[in-house]
Amino acid sequence: MSNNLNSDNVIAFRCPPQSHCWSQAELWDMTALCAANSRHGGATFWSTGKTEKGDPQFYLLDADEDCLLCLTRMDRRYVLEDGFGGVVAESADLKAVIEQGRRMVARPQGISAFVMRSLFVVCTCRAILDQKIELMMAETGEQLARYAPQLAALV
Amino acid sequence: MHFAKAEPEAKALRKQAGVWLKQLRNQAGLSQVELAAQLGLKYYTFISQIENGFGRVPTEAMERWALALNEKPSAFARKLLGFYDPELYRLLFEDVS
C-alpha cells in the first residue's frame, strides 16, 4: 500500500494557521479565571496583549493591576504562568489549563481566609481571658485591701 | 468582570519600564526567545508579560537580566526601582532635604 503513495496522490493536510487573537470562545473560557478569582475575594481585572511573535496573551490582574496569571497560546498549546514567570500549567486543552489556574487562584486566598479566621478566634479568646483576669485581679486586690488590716491586727 | 481600569501612576510606570526593557533588548540584538534562553526560562512569554507592562522583573533575576542586556547590574536595578517603587527610589537616591 505504501508503494502507491507518492507526491501525486497524497494531499498534504496542513493545520489552518492560528489567529493571533483570542477567539470569542477562548475569551469566554478565560474569563472563568476572573470569576474564580473574584469568588475568593481577588480583583477581577483582565487584559490582553501579544508576544513579539504575535502569540496572544491573557493577563489576570490584581487590584494594583499586577499580573497574577498570564495565559499564552503558542501554536496550539496553552501555557499558564504566574506573575513571576513560573509555569503553572501547559496543555493543548484550554479547559484543563484554566482548571489549574482556577485552583491556583483559589489556594492562597483560601489559606489567608483560614489564617484570618484563626487570628480572629485567637484574638477574641485573648480579649475574653484578659477581661476575666483583670476582673479577678481587681477582686483579689479589693479583698486584700478589706481583710489585710484585720489580719494585721490578729498578728 | 471588567477590563483593566484607567491607568494609575504605578501602572503607567510599569508600562514605561516595559518599554525601556524592550529598548535595551533591541539594542542588545536579542529576541524575546533569545533573552528567555539566556535567563534560563522555559518559555519566552514572561519576557513579553514584563515588556507589555503587566509584570515586574523579579529582584533575584535582575542581575542576570542586566548582564544579558549588557547593562551594569547596579544601574539596571536602580533604574527599575525608579519605575517599580518611585517613593523608595526618591528616598534612597534623591536629595529630600
User: What gap in Å lies between CA A49 and CA A57, rounded to an integer?
Assistant: 5
Cα end-to-end span (Å), chain A? 121
Beta bridge partners, A58, equal A48, A71
pLDDT tens-digit series, residues A13-33: 665 556 678 888 888 888 877
CA distances to B3, B5, B76, B77 from B11, rounded to whole Å, are 14, 10, 19, 18
Least confident of A79-93, A99-113, B23-37, B83-97: A99-113
User: How many domains does the structure of chain A reveal?
Assistant: 1
CA distances to A48, A59, B48, B87 from B54, rounded to whole Å, are 10, 8, 9, 20
Q: What pLDDT, on a 0 to 100 scale, did the predictor assign at position B6?
A: 42
B74 domain-assigned: yes
Q: What pLDDT, on a 0 to 100 scale, did the predictor assign at position A116?
A: 57
SS3 of A97-117: the string is HHHHHHHHHHHHHHHHHHHHH
Determine, for residues A46 and B49 on separate chains, whether the beta-carbon distance falls below 8 Å. Answer: no
pLDDT tens-digit series, residues A109-138: 444 555 656 666 676 667 777 777 877 888
Q: What pLDDT, on a 0 to 100 scale, did the predictor assign at position A138?
A: 80
Q: Please report the DSSP string for A10-36 in residue order.
A: -PPP-PPPPPSS--HHHHHHHHHHHHH
CA distance B77 to chain A (A): 17
Q: What pLDDT, on a 0 to 100 scale, did the predictor assign at position B67?
A: 96
The domain in which residue B72 lies consists of 9-93
Mean pLDDT of A86-98: 91
**Cell numbers of A129, please?**
481571658
B22 domain-assigned: yes
B80 domain-assigned: yes
User: What gap in Å lies between CA B20 and CA B18, rounded to an integer?
Assistant: 5
| Closest alpha carbon to B88 in B22, A137, A46, B77 | B77
User: What gap in Å lies between CA A68 and CA A85, rounded to an integer?
Assistant: 10
ipTM over 0.90: no
The domain in which residue A33 lies consists of 14-110
> What share of residues in chain B are helix, strand, coil (percent, to 5)?
65, 0, 30
List the CATH number of the domain containing B69: 1.10.260.40
Output B13 or A18, whichever has higher pLDDT: B13
B2 domain-assigned: no
B4 domain-assigned: no
Determine, for residues B48 and A74 on separate chains, whether the beta-carbon distance falls below 8 Å. Answer: no
pTM for this structure?
Answer: 0.68
Q: Is residue B54 a contact partner of residue A67, using CB atoms and an 8 Å limit? A: yes
Output A85 or A41, whichever has higher pLDDT: A85
At B22, give phi and psi (nearest 5°): -65, -40
CA distance A29 to chain B (A): 13
Residue A148 binned pLDDT confidence (cut-offs 50, 70, 90): confident
Q: Which residue of B has its CA nearest to A37?
A: B1
- Chain A residue numbers with beta carbons less than 8 Å from the beta carbon of B52 are 49-50, 57, 59
A7 domain-assigned: no
Average pLDDT, rounded, for chain A: 78
Least confident of A48-57, A136-145, B34-43: A136-145
> Taking each helix axis from N to C terminus, what angle separates A24-39 and A94-154, rounded to the nearest 10 degrees?
10
B87 domain-assigned: yes
A50 domain-assigned: yes
Determine, for residues A74 and B43 on separate chains, whether the beta-carbon distance falls below 8 Å. Answer: yes
Q: What pLDDT, on a 0 to 100 scale, did the predictor assign at position A144?
A: 81
User: How many domains does the structure of chain B reveal?
Assistant: 1
* Residue with cell string 477567539: A23
